[in-house]
Structure 1
Amino acid sequence: MTTTSTRPRASSPDSAPPPGSPRRRLELATFVSSFGNGLYLTVSALYFTRVLGFGAARVGLVLTVAGLAGVLASLPAGRAADRFGIKPVYTLLLAAEAVTVGALAFCTSFWMFAAVACLSTAVDRAASAVRQALYARAFDPRTRVADRAAIRAVTNVAIGVGAATAALVLQADSRWLFQAAILANALSFLGIAALLPGIALRGADGAGAAATAATTDADADSPVARPSAKIRVARPYQAVAALNAAMTLQFAFFDIGLPLWLLQETRAPRFMVSGMLILNTALVVLFQVRVARRVTGIAAAARATGAGGLVLGGACMVTACAKGLSPAAAVAVLVLAAVLLTAGEVLTQAGAWTLSYDLADDRAIGAYQGVFNAGTAAGQMVGPLVVTQAAIRHGVAGWAVLAAVFAVAGSAMVPTARWAAGTRPSEP
C-alpha cells in the first residue's frame, strides 16, 4: 500500500520480510524451536514408555495433569508480561524451559518424571501466552495476522524436518540418542532467547516502534508504558476465548481421533496415518497465509471461524463414513476428511488470531493473550479425552456429537464476537 506519511511502509505478507525485521527474526526463532519440538514430540512418548518403562497409561495420566498446570500458568504469565515487560518475562521462561525440558532426559523415577513434566508444561504454556503478546507487539497491526500465518507455516515445515530427523533416532533405538534429541529441544529455547534482543516492539500506545523517536523498544518493556497492567479481561472476550477453546478440539481430532479410527475401524492401509499428516502440513503451508490475508477485521474473523466450524463438522461425518468400506474407498474418504479438516483448521486459526488481537485491550495485551492461551490450553488438555470417549467409543453417533460441537461453537462465534466488539474500550 502507498502512503504519504513518514511511517515505514508495512511489508507485504506475500513478499519476503527484509533482513533484520521482526518477522524475519521470529521466523528464524520459530524454525529453531519447532525443529526441536518435532524431535521431541516424535521420540518422547517412546522414550518415556518403553525406554524408561513408565507405561503408556501412567504417562498419559501425567500429561493430562500437566495440561491442567499449563492452563493455570497462562493467566499469571500474561499479567507478568504486562507488569514487567514482554522480553524479560519471555527470556526468563525460555531459560526455565531449557532447564525443565533438559531435565526430562535424565528422569530416573516415575515421580521425578511426573513432577518435571508438570513443571515443564506449565512453563511451556506460560511462555506461549507471552509469545502471543510478543507477536502482537512485534508485528505491524496492518499485516499482523498474515505475519502470524507465515509463522505457522514455518512451524509446520520445521516440525516436519524435526520429525524426519527423529526417525533416525528411532531407527538407531539408542538411549543416549533419545536423550540427545530431548537435549537438542532444550537448547533450542536458548536459541530463541539469543534472538530476542534484536526484535523491536511497538509501544503500549499502539504506535509503530519506528514511527516516532519517543516510542522505542525500551518503552514497550518499561513499567511506565503500562499504567493499566491491572485491567481486567472483559467477559465478552472470555466468551470468545471459550468458544475458541472448543474449536481447538480439532487438533485432538487430527492427532488422535483420525489415526485411531483409521487403524481400528477401517480397512485403509496403516501408512495413511503418515500420509494424512504430510498432506495436512503441505496444505497449511500453501494456504494459511493466503487465507489469513483475507480475514481482516472482527466481522470477517467471526465469519471465518463459523465457516471453519461447519467444515470441521463435515470432516467428522465424512470420517465416520470410512467404516466398513473397501480399502480403496476408505482411503478416498479419509483423504477427503483430511482435506476438510485442514480447511477448517486454516479458517479457524486465521479467525482466532484476528479475534485474539483485535478484540484485546492494547493496554493489557499480555493479560488478554494469557486468557486466550488458557482457553487453547484447556481445549488441548481435554481434547484427547473428548475425542476418544465420544467418537472412538461411540462410533458414528459420537462423531455426530463432535460435529455438532464444532458447528455450534463456530456459529456462536459471530454474535459473541459482535458483543465483544461492542464492549471493547476505544483506543486512547
Structure 2
Amino acid sequence: MLNRLLPPSGPARMLTVITMVMSLGQGLWIAISVLYAVTIVGLTPGELGISLGVSAALVLVSSIPLGHLADRAGPRTVQMWSFLALAPLTAVLLLAHGFWAYVIVTSVQGLFYRAGNNARKAMIAANVPRTDRVRVTARIRAALNASVAVGAGISGLVIAWGEPAGYAGAILLTAVCFLVTGLLTAKEPPVPPVPAAAGAAFAVLRDVPFLLFTALDGLLLTHALLIDVVLPLWVIQHTDAPRWMAAVILIINTAIVVTLQTKAVWGTEDPRSASWASFQGAGCVAAACALFALTGGAGAVAACVLLVLGALVHGLGEIRQAAASWTIVFGLAPDHAQGQYQGTYKMGGDLGRILAPAAFTWLIIGQGVIGWIVLAASYVVLAAAMPVVVARGVRYRAPEGAAATT
C-alpha cells in the first residue's frame, strides 16, 4: 500500500514522505485538540471558541506575508525551520495552563504551521516539472489522508483511555513528528530564494482574476465541511439512520481520497480544462446534496443506503475538484511568486472554514430539506462561474508568459 502512495523516486518521493510524517502528527493533534483544551487545560467551550477564532484570524491575515517569505528566503529553508520550531511549540502545550497561555501557544503554532504549509506547495513548484505537479500533488494528498487516518486512529485510543498521561504522550508524539519533518526537509535539494520582481512586494493583491478564483474556489471548498460538521448533526437530528453512520461517511470519504485521488487528475492538463473539471466536481457535490436531502423522510435502511451513495458521489466530486484547483493555482501563479500565491489561495479556504459552519448549520440543520436544495443550487451556480474566471486569469498571465519568452 505504501509503495502505491509514494512516487517512484526523486524529490517527489521525499516530499511525499515528509508530508506523511507531518500529517501523522497533525492528524493526531487535530483529533485530540478540542478534548485536550476542555478536559485537560480546563477551557470553557466559549473560551475554546475564542482561541480558535483568534488563531484562525492571525493565520488568515499572515498567509500572504508568510508565502512571500517562502519566495524570498527559499521554501526549503522556511519549511525546515517552521517545523523545527513547531516541535518545541507543540511540546510546550503541556505547560500551557489557562486561557491566555493556550491562546498564545496555539496562535504562534498556527502561524508556523501555515508558513511551513505555504513553503511545502512552493517546494513542489520548485522541485517538480510543471507537467507533473498536479499528479505529484495528488499522490501527496492521498498519502496525507492515509497518515491523518492513522493519526486519528491513535487519537481514538488516547480518547478512549481518557487519562492525562495519554494526552501528554500524544502531544509529544506530535512534536516528534514535526521535528522529524524538519530534519527530513533538510535532506531535500536546496531551493534558492527567488529574487523579488519589479513592482509591488505583494503583486498577488493586484492580480484580480486570481483573487476572484481564490474567493470562488474557497466557497466551493466548503463542501468538505459537509462531511466533517453538517452530516454528523444531520444524521442524528433529521434521519432514522444509526448514529454510527456519521463515522461510516468519514471512512468512505477517506478511502476515496486515498485510493482514487491520483486517478482524478485526468483532463486537468491546463487551467482552462481544469476549470471544467472543477465544474464537474461541484456538480457531483450538488448531486450528493440532493441525495442527502432525501434521507430526511426515509426509513432507517433507505437512509443508510442514501447516505452511502451520497458519500460516494461527494467523495468523487471532492477529488475531482481538488485536482482541478491544483492545476489552476500552479498554472496562474508565476514561478517567482509561488509562495505568496499559494498563501493567498489558502486564504480562500480559511474564509470558507470561518464562515461556512454557522451558515451551513442554519441552512441545513435549521431549514431541513430545502436547505440542501438551496446549497446544491449554490454549488452549481458557483461552479458555472469557474470557467469564466479562469479564462480571464489565463489572459491576465499571457502577457507575462510572452515577455518571458522574448
Q: One fold, TM greater than 0.5?
A: yes
Instruction: Note closer, same or farther for the CA distance 1:198–1:282 as it changes in structure 2 (3 Å cut).
Output: same
Q: Shift of residue 296 of structure 1? A: 1.1
Partner residue of 1:365?
338
Q: Distance in 1 between matches of 2:325 and 2:333?
A: 12
SS of residue matched to 2:384: helix
Q: Are residues 1:268 and 2:241 paired?
A: yes
Partner residue of 1:376?
349
Instruction: Note closer, same or farther for the CA distance 1:390–1:119 as it changes in structure 2 (3 Å cut).
Output: farther
Partner residue of 1:46?
35
Partner residue of 2:53?
64
Partner residue of 2:72?
83
Partner residue of 2:306?
333
Partner residue of 2:393?
420
Q: Distance in 2 between matches of 1:178 and 1:28?
A: 25
Q: Shift of residue 61 of structure 1? A: 3.2
Q: Are residues 1:99 and 2:88 paired?
A: yes
SS of residue matched to 2:43: coil
Q: Distance in 1 between matches of 2:240 and 2:5?
A: 44
Q: Which residues of structure 2 form unaligned runs of 5+?
A: none
What are the residue-to-residue correspondences of 1:267-346 with 2, within 5 Å?
Answer: 267-346=240-319
Q: Shift of residue 258 of structure 1? A: 0.9
Partner residue of 2:188?
199
SS of residue matched to 1:198: coil
Farther off after superposition, 410-419 or 311-320: 311-320
Q: Distance in 2 between matches of 1:396 and 1:403?
A: 11
> What does the per-residue CA deviation read over 1:272-309, in whole Å, with 9 as the maximum and x for residues that have no partner?
11111111111111211011144211111100111111
Q: Distance in 1 between matches of 2:214 and 2:51?
A: 25
Aligned residues: CA RMSD? 2.0
Q: Shift of residue 226 of structure 1? A: 4.6
Q: Distance in 2 between matches of 1:401 and 1:93?
A: 41
Matched to 1:105, the amino acid is L
Structure 2-normalised TM-score? Answer: 0.92
Q: Shift of residue 244 of structure 1? A: 0.9
Partner residue of 2:192?
221
Q: Distance in 2 between matches of 1:381 and 1:121?
A: 15
| 2:23 alignment partner, one of 27, 34, 48 | 34
Q: Distance in 1 between matches of 2:274 and 2:4?
A: 20
Q: Shift of residue 401 of structure 1? A: 2.9
Farther off after superposition, 292-301 or 413-422: 292-301
Is contact 2:5-2:143 (8 Å) kept? no
Q: Shift of residue 231 of structure 1? A: 5.9
Farther off after superposition, 315-324 or 342-351: 315-324
SS of residue matched to 2:242: coil
Partner residue of 1:393?
366
Partner residue of 1:232?
203
Q: Are residues 1:17 and 2:17 paired?
A: no
What are the residue-to-residue correspondences of 1:185-196 with 2, within 5 Å?
Answer: 185-196=174-185
Q: Distance in 1 between matches of 2:48 and 2:117?
A: 23
How many percent identity over aligned positions?
A: 31
Partner residue of 1:210?
none
Aligned residues: 396
Q: Shift of residue 265 of structure 1? A: 1.1
Q: Distance in 2 between matches of 1:305 and 1:179?
A: 42
Matched to 1:34, the amino acid is S
What are the residue-to-residue correspondences of 1:134-149 with 2, within 5 Å?
Answer: 134-149=123-138
> What does the per-residue CA deviation read over 1:237-279, in whole Å, with 9 as the maximum and x for residues that have no partner?
1111111110121111110001110111111111111111111
SS of residue matched to 1:143: helix
Q: Distance in 1 between matches of 2:211 and 2:340?
A: 11
Q: Are residues 1:255 and 2:228 paired?
A: yes
Q: Distance in 1 between matches of 2:364 and 2:154?
A: 32
> What does the per-residue CA deviation read over 1:58-89, in whole Å, with 9 as the maximum and x for residues that have no partner?
31332133212111121101111121211222
> What does the per-residue CA deviation read over 1:332-364, in whole Å, with 9 as the maximum and x for residues that have no partner?
111111112111111110011000101111121
Instruction: Note closer, same or farther for the CA distance 1:97–1:409 as it changes in structure 2 (3 Å cut).
Output: farther
Is contact 2:270-2:331 (8 Å) kept? yes
Q: Distance in 1 between matches of 2:366 and 2:171?
A: 34
Partner residue of 2:119?
130
Q: Which residues of structure 1 form unaligned runs of 5+?
A: 1-12, 201-216
Q: Shift of residue 16 of structure 1? A: 5.6
Is contact 1:73-1:123 (8 Å) kept? no
SS of residue matched to 1:108: coil
Is contact 1:301-1:354 (8 Å) kept? yes
Partner residue of 1:205?
none
Structure 1-normalised TM-score? Answer: 0.87
Is contact 2:6-2:139 (8 Å) kept? no
Q: Distance in 2 between matches of 1:14 and 1:142?
A: 20
Q: Distance in 2 between matches of 1:409 and 1:104?
A: 40
Is contact 1:316-1:337 (8 Å) kept? yes
Q: Distance in 2 between matches of 1:162 and 1:145?
A: 25
Farther off after superposition, 374-383 or 300-309: 374-383
Higher helix share goes to which structure?
2
> What does the per-residue CA deviation read over 1:194-217, in whole Å, with 9 as the maximum and x for residues that have no partner?
1123323xxxxxxxxxxxxxxxx4
Q: Are residues 1:155 and 2:144 paired?
A: yes
Q: Distance in 2 between matches of 1:25 and 1:62?
A: 34
Instruction: Note closer, same or farther for the CA distance 1:71–1:172 as it changes in structure 2 (3 Å cut).
Output: same
